[in-house]
Structure 1
Amino acid sequence: MGANIDGPRPLRPDEFRDAMALAEHCFGYESGGLEARMPHCFDESRPDRHVIIKRDDEIVSHVVCVPTELRAGDVCVPCYGIAGVATDPDHRGNGYMTQLLEFCLRRAEEDGVPIVELEGDRVGYGRFGWENAGREYRFRITRRSFDAPEPVVNDGTDLVYPVRPGNADLESIERVHEAERYRITRDQDQYERLLGQRGLETLVYDGDRPAYLCHRGAEPTSVLEFGGSERGVATLLDRVLQDDEIMLYTHPHHPLVSLFVEVSTDWTLLSHRKLNVLDLPTVLEAYEPLLEDRWTTAVDGIGTSTTGGSVTLAIAADDRNPSSRETPVTIRFEDAGVHVERTDRKPDLVLDRRTMTHFLFGSPDACYEVKQTHPFLGTVLPLEYYFWQTETI
């Protein structure tokens, strides 16, 4: 007699604890550990974000799909983040993970969400369309390297103190964080959840140029998020560093990168996370302000008028994008700006889904020969996004 399979389907509220028990078992967490460490993902009040498969009335596979928004200045792009991909070891090899991920991708398309993000194995998730995207600096800072520049001076008028979630400090942190160019959208609840996660300490620099810094653990201590003035961040680094070394994570366009280069002993630049572009026209329409800003900055730098022109892009037909649904998108550019529009023109450039993600969001030299053929694209790409390490999904 065959097994009774139920799903993939959304989780019911009464199944939340069983789903978490499976995820905790697969990831090696104690009971309640995932909710304490990643409260923005594993939230008992939002069972609708979880998707499961049951076999003979037992949850054997699970994933959570977290709605979020990518921000890059004036750019705002709806996104789903995938987390908690877990299948009971005794039931692996039955295609349950494939079914759950395809369910989530269909949900994103139905909800009009153009891009889906996750962190994980490039080879394993690549067959579903995910590809490495974005970049992240990791700076190793030691007491010896930090003492090299001019020392931090605290004249007694500036205070450094830890944040307790739920107090007024969150408002000042929110003001500082909202000034970051590359981030994801947060509401008040998300600030409280993120800064209240287990093992995370947030320090505030309260002076005329405020700052904050979130760190966790030791060997080394990890600085997972920060913001504010150079003086404030340097003071907080000095406090956190003590006699140890720290690892600090940030995106490559952060205005304090030059400070970290100065006070670090070494650093690496790595691919950030993985994206799956489901709707190319919607993504490029959303990123139009960034494309225009980069193009007009480049034109101003040249100091002469440009000819202008256009380029039409499309994702090659695949299971997620059959030829009957293929929608090319044209980017028109001239001295005055950039305009993105859907079109029925024959594309100048057609790439498979993974290559298109690499082309748009990968390193500056991604698809170098293509960018040489289309210099405008070489000028405005790559597109940027960033999840702070506190926001790991």
Structure 2
Amino acid sequence: MSSIRSITFRPMFLRRTSLRCWTRRMSTERCRAKGKRMRISRARPDEYDAIQRYLEDAYGLPCGFFPADYPHLWRKEHTDFRNILLIRQGGAIASLVRIFPMTLVCADATIPAGGIGAVSTSPSFRGRGYMTALMREALSAMRADGYAVSVLWGDRQRYSHFGYEHAGTVYELTFSSRSIARAGLRAAGVRRWLGERDLLTRIHAAYLQQRSHAVRTITQTRQCLMKRDCTVYVWEQKGEFAYAVRSGWRGQIVEHGGSPAGILRILIHLDQRFGAGALTVPFPGRDAVADILLDAAAGWCVRTTGMVRILDPVRLCTAYRRHFERCLPDGAELSLGIEGETGAAVSSRGGRASVRAARHPDLCLSSPQASRLVFGPCAEPLARRGTTAELCGKVFPLPFFIWPTDHC
């Protein structure tokens, strides 16, 4: 983890500079927030209870909410205090941002990612620029730690200021009682998972076989499925296996895996058992949807998987090297950059892709534009035409999907 610097902040006098220039000056620049010096530091293990009480107050939530609803992230034994950035005033926590390290597998790419969560400021300290300072420090720390992208879930107008944009692809099917009844299947073999170890092993294996998933241990899988609002159902028959995770009062599916016919039987069981009405089921893309499920769906839509910020174009393109080897024409080179930051150039020779840094890329976009272009799901219109636009159409969007159970 990179060292956390001591800074002060005067939001009203900040110049509009690139993030790179900002992070370069952070160790020497001193500003003021309403006349009071501000220090960014990392949390300590002995502050766990104070952090929980602070978050509950900041979000207006009941006592014990975070470790109960996010046990894999917020129980004390799973809390990485080095990645919790704090601002304290008068001995109390005034503002907080947490980085959640993630390793994402999307098709044949393995992407080091930093999730952002628990972004908050105590009501009595709002309006002083604390969150802005913490978010900029978090971006700097994630770059230093080697993350290719950062992801979060929140308000677009709030986080686009830091370069985040809705991106990635979720192919979502909707199932109604009428549509799944047409499948002509019975719900035989479906039951709840009640923590059995042998079933957990099969659930974990089915999850890791998905074309898109987060790298997690079997213990982490268990913690994800033990969330307070999650109920897990499994189906077994003649050696085949499937599971689905139902979440919230509306009973939507937030994770599933295994046999498509088994998943459909679980949906039939839920409809018969709870009269759940319309059920939505996410998939990493159209090619991840089996025909038996598509035929039984009442409808479908495409939406984004979250808000994404590209941190390091070179690391990102390196992670997707195999994708470029398939999609980039032999002998072609594509270079792309983010305004004020170093770009990346990908070239294809003899079926092999190579990646290097590009100081003057052919295509330079704002951070939100780059996220939309690179990760989709919709094609980003480019003012520049010709070869660069044609190559972008061949290689983008890159596959990018995160299961709701892995949100932070």
Indicate the TM-score class for this superposition, using the shorter chain for normalisation.
0.7 to 0.9
- Matched residue, 2:355: 341
Which one-letter code corresponds to 2:310 in the other structure? Answer: V
Do structure 1's residue 81 and structure 2's residue 115 form an aligned pair? yes
Match of 1:209 in 2: 240
Deviation string for 1:24-76 (max 9, x for gaps)? 22333211111111123323232223222111111121122110012123311
Q: Work out which of the residue numbers 332, 336, 346 in structure 2 matches 1:331.
A: 346
Q: Measure how far apart 1:188 and its partner are.
A: 2.3
**Aligned partners of 2:337 and 2:358 also within 8 Å:** no
Residue by residue, what CA displacement relative to the aligned partner does 1:272-306 show, whole Å, maximum 9, x if unpaired?
Answer: 211111111110011111222345xxxxxxxxxx7
Q: Number of residues paired by the alignment?
A: 368
1:85-129 CA-partner distances (Å, limit 9, x unpaired): 111122210111111111211111221212111111111111111
Distance in 1 between residues matched to 2:35 and 2:233, nearest whole Å: 53
Residues 199-218 of structure 1 show CA distances to partners (whole Å, capped at 9, x for unaligned) of: 21111112222111110233
- Note if contact 2:211-2:288 (Cα within 8 Å) is conserved in structure 1: no
Establish whether residue 250 from structure 1 lines up as the match of residue 280 from structure 2. Answer: no
Correspondence 1:63-102 to 2 at 5 A: 63-102=97-136
Q: Which amino acid aligns with 2:133?
A: Q
Per-residue CA deviation, residues 139-170 of structure 1 (Å, 9 max, x unaligned), is 3322122112333364xxxx333223462212
How big is each residue's C-alpha offset from its partner over 1:300-345, in whole Å with a ceiling of 9 and x where there is no partner?
xxxxxx763222222221xxx3xxxx3x4222235x4241321557
TM-score (structure 2 length as normaliser) = 0.83
SS of corresponding position for 2:190: strand
| Residue identity in the other structure for 2:331 | G
CA contact (8 A) 1:8 1:52 kept: yes
SS at match of 1:19: helix
Quote the offset at 1:368 in angstroms.
5.0
Does the residue aligned with 2:104 lie in a helix, a strand or coil? strand
Separation in structure 1 between the aligned mates of residue 403 and residue 139 of structure 2, nearest angstrom: 24
Q: Which shifted more, 358-367 or 127-136?
A: 358-367
Describe how 1:339-378 pairs up with structure 2 within 5 A: 339-343=353-357, 346-367=360-381, 370=384, 373-374=387-388, 375-378=390-393
Report the 3-state secondary structure (helix = DSSP H, G, I; strand = E; otherwise coil) of the residue aligned with 2:71.
coil
* Structure 2: 5+ residue stretches without partners: 1-33
- Is contact 2:314–2:357 with CA below 8 Å preserved after alignment? no
Contact 1:63/1:85, CA 8 A, preserved across alignment: yes
Look up the match of 1:235.
Answer: 265
Aligned residue among 188, 199, 221 for 2:229 = 199
Q: Deviations over 1:210-231 (max 9, x none)?
A: 111110233x211110011111
**In 2, are the aligned partners of 1:313 and 1:347 still within 8 Å (CA)?**
yes
Match status 1:145 vs 2:160: no
Distance 1:145 1:371 in 2: 44
Structure 2 counterpart of 1:385: 400
* Distance in structure 1 (CA, Å) of the matches to 2:385 and 2:184: 42
Structure 1: distance between partners of 2:38 and 2:363:
42
| Matched residue type, 1:316 | E
- Match for residue 311 of structure 1? 334
Could you report, residue by residue, the CA deviation over 1:245-282 in whole angstroms, capped at 9, with x for unpaired residues? 22323332352264444333333322221111111111
Q: Alpha carbons of 1:383 and 1:370: their partners in 2 closer, same or farther (altered >3 Å)?
A: farther
Q: How does 1:51-62 map to 2 (within 5 A)?
A: 51-62=85-96
- For residues 44 and 3 of structure 1, do their structure 2 counterparts lie closer, same or farther at Cα, with a shift above 3 Å needed? farther
Distance 1:141-1:5 versus aligned 2 partners, 3 A rule: farther
Q: Distance in 2 between matches of 1:268 and 1:73?
A: 21
With the length of structure 1 as denominator, give the TM-score of the two structures: 0.86
The aligned runs of 1:170-189 (5 Å cut-off) are: 170-189=200-219
Equivalent in the alignment of 1:300: none
Conserved? CA contact 2:121–2:131, under 8 Å: yes
Aligned partners of 2:211 and 2:284 also within 8 Å: no
Q: Distance in 2 between matches of 1:32 and 1:371?
A: 54
